[in-house]
Amino acid sequence: MSLKRKELEILRLVIDGKTFVEILSKLDTSERNLRYMLQNLNFYLRKILNKVIEKDKEKLLISLDEREINSFFSTVYKNYYILDNFERSEYIIMGFLYLKDMNLTTLESRLGITRATLKKDIEMVNFKLEKHGLRLDSEKNRFRIIGNEKKLRHLKALKYIEYTQEELGWLHKDYIFSEIDKKQLERLKELVLKIENQFSLTFDIEFVNLMIIFLYVTLERIKLGYIIDRKANYKFLINTEHYTIIESVLEAVISKDMSYEFVHLTEYFISGGVKDNISELKSSVEKYIEGLEEKCMAVISSTIEEFRFSEELKIKLMGYLIPAIYRLRNNFSIGKIGERGHLYETIFLYSTEEKFLPEKLTEFEIYYISCEIEKEIGQESQKVMKLSHLLNIIEKNSLEIDRENIIKELIDNYGKLIKIDIFD
């Protein structure tokens, strides 16, 4: 016997005062399964604390103080907990991100699983890593995460932030983060705050924490020989006063000849001071959106009469584009490009040629914008359709038609969706 994540979740829900029915709904399980899990949970509650969950009408009750709760979870995680495949795959990712000389034998031992199970878990690991443009590569039975260097750094920084802030017992954080140099983190915090001061800005605490660990990861990767040597907007950023500040502060930890590393960090630190209503960028972004609206209108005018961007869409694009100018929000929430709609090419060409924004948008940002606009066009097209457009479609695809009868049938069937612009 053992306990799993769902059973411990039940205990937390009981402690929070949820009813039997509420727990059933929350876990999306059957009454029979819930009763079985409660029985198993009670076995360990009795074994560890000599207490059990009891049912009083629709309520599930147990009296535990904070000390008892902590003691129970600590004992379970140490002695009786079984990781599910999701947790095991996370454990494997964290191991390869943060521990040196990680191998399959070590993982088998720590996770208490067979080699066959581990190989299945590695399939899930690769499925997760694929979303970040990364993969687990093996050479002579030694594994390492490889792929886009920037995305690897982003993932490592984000995972650290996620799991150091979240209360988890199954991850064994003391083991996973055992090689992190805490003193180095403190030194880097001083540098981040020095940059904040010289930028004459106030960074959010979340941003400060993110940049401390991102700097740590950057230095670690540079030490291993993984150095970034390209940047699309290099010439723009290297001539900013922000670059000069970043270089002067960080030359204590990064060699001055690594200008591309400084440029990437400059971009991220600039974004820390970008607010959604920043006046310097607002005018440029508004002009970009106005020009984009005209381009889109020209393309879709045959299907939707007098189409305009709604205020809601303009606000949404404004809120996305202002911080996107300096990339941090998008770099640290790595997106995947799906199927491109019919407007994507128009928006791509416009965004390549426009002169309003201080730097060009990335392919993913253009994809996001095109999706939002096409979503609105789809909603608009449900409101009204031109009868002349529908007839055009029919006439182009028919040799002989009964025009009057077709008009009648279209109006009879789709009257609410059609704008009647023909009266003959």
pLDDT per residue over 171-218, tens digit each? 888 889 999 999 999 999 999 999 999 988 888 888 899 899 999 999
Quote the Cα angle for 226-230-236, to 5°: 135
Query: For 93-107, 148-162, 260-274, which range has the lowest pLDDT when averaged over its residues?
Result: 260-274
What is the crossing angle of helices 205-223 and 182-198, to 10°?
A: 120
The predicted-structure confidence for 347-377, as pLDDT tens digits, reads as follows 999 988 888 887 778 787 888 899 888 888 7
85-152+169-176, CATH topology level: Arc Repressor Mutant, subunit A (1.10.10)
pLDDT digits (tens, 9 = 90+) for 256-288: 999 999 999 988 888 776 554 455 667 888 889
Fold for the domain defined by 5-79: Arc Repressor Mutant, subunit A (1.10.10)
Instruction: Taking residues 277-305, report their average pLDDT.
Output: 76
Domain parsing of the chain, residue ranges: 5-79, 85-152+169-176, 182-272, 279-375, 385-419
What digits encode the pLDDT tens for the residues 340-352? 877 888 999 998 8
Output DSSP code: residue 305.
T
Residues 6 or more apart from 210 whose CB is under 8 A from it?
Answer: 157, 161, 332
Rounded Cα distance between 240 and 384, Å, is 49
On whether the pTM is more than 0.85, the answer is no
Q: Do domains 5-79 and 85-152+169-176 have the same CATH topology?
A: yes
Q: Give the whole-angstrom CA distance, residue 173 versus residue 77.
A: 12
